[in-house]
């Protein structure tokens, strides 16, 4: 559900101060990634650094974004095999976006493509911060505002060391929610308590509450 939060200028200013948000200028992707890692005090192949991106799905300028993904993988050392490179699905025309997130502090940098350049937005996305209504009241002011629910939820699930298969479910579902969580728990219950014998299969009938 899309919600608009009308805010007075003073309230918006207070929210920005609360969250410590800053908007960087536009530049090349490698420059922005390097600056983001410096801001997060992260080193290459840091196990406490997450990259979350829609690069496998979007097509900036009607071309694949996989070359940009390769740049980010090379600079950050984040990989699928290490469990700290995750994806979220978006339509092909959606902006190319990379979130770099520090597990220990909740500090984050969101790098978005715009007109062939990249602009970075710095913010705190810790579990404590996103539990504050002020975060969501001003979230639409970001270039990445429409993706904030997805980014914040998946990043914090990863930070809490959620099971990897749960994170892969979140990739497919595109966000963390009660339906995803309950479905994951039910699936594991079935697999553990009612494993299939040869020739058997599951049939699941479900509906919203």
pLDDT tens per residue, range 145-171: 999 999 999 999 999 999 999 999 999
Lowest-confidence segment of 13-27, 43-57, 183-197 by average pLDDT: 13-27
Residue ranges with strand state E in 77-116: 85-87, 97-102, 107-114
pTM of structure = 0.84
Comparison of pLDDT for 41 and 13, the residue scoring more: 41
- pLDDT, residue 204, reads 82
- pLDDT, residue 163, reads 97
- pLDDT, residue 1, reads 43
Comparison of pLDDT for 76 and 114, the residue scoring more: 76
Lowest-confidence segment of 14-23, 61-70, 92-101, 108-117 by average pLDDT: 14-23
Residue 4, helix vs strand vs coil: coil
Q: What is the mean pLDDT of residues 193-203?
A: 94
Q: In Å, how far are 22, 61, 177 from 168, measured between CA atoms?
A: 31, 28, 14
Structure-block tokens of residue 7: 């805010």
Lowest-confidence segment of 9-13, 129-133, 137-141, 187-191 by average pLDDT: 9-13
* Fold held by 9-160: 60s Ribosomal Protein L30; Chain: A; (3.30.1330)
Given a contact cutoff of 8 angstroms between Cβ atoms, the answer to whether 134 and 18 are in contact is yes
- pLDDT, residue 144, reads 94
């Amino acid at each position: 559900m899309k919600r608009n939060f009308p805010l007075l200028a003073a309230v918006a200013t207070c929210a920005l101060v609360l969250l410590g948000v800053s908007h960087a200028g536009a530049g090349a992707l490698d420059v922005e990634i390097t600056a983001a890692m410096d801001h997060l005090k992260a080193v290459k192949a840091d196990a406490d650094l997450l990259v979350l991106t829609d690069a496998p799905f979007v097509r900036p300028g009607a071309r694949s974004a996989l070359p940009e993904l390769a740049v980010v993988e090379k600079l950050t050392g984040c990989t699928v095999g290490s469990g700290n490179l995750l994806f979220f699905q978006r339509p092909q025309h959606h902006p190319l976006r990379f979130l770099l997130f520090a597990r220990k502090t909740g500090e984050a940098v969101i790098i978005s493509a715009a007109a062939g350049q990249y602009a970075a937005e710095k913010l705190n996305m810790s579990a404590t911060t996103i539990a504050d209504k002020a975060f969501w009241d001003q979230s639409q002011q970001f270039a990445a505002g429409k993706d904030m629910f997805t980014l914040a939820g998946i990043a914090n699930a990863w930070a809490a060391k959620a099971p990897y298969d749960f994170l892969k479910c979140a990739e497919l579902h595109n966000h963390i929610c009660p339906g995803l969580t309950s479905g994951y728990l039910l699936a594991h219950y079935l697999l553990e308590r009612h494993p299939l014998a040869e020739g058997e299969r599951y049939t699941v009938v479900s509906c919203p509450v």
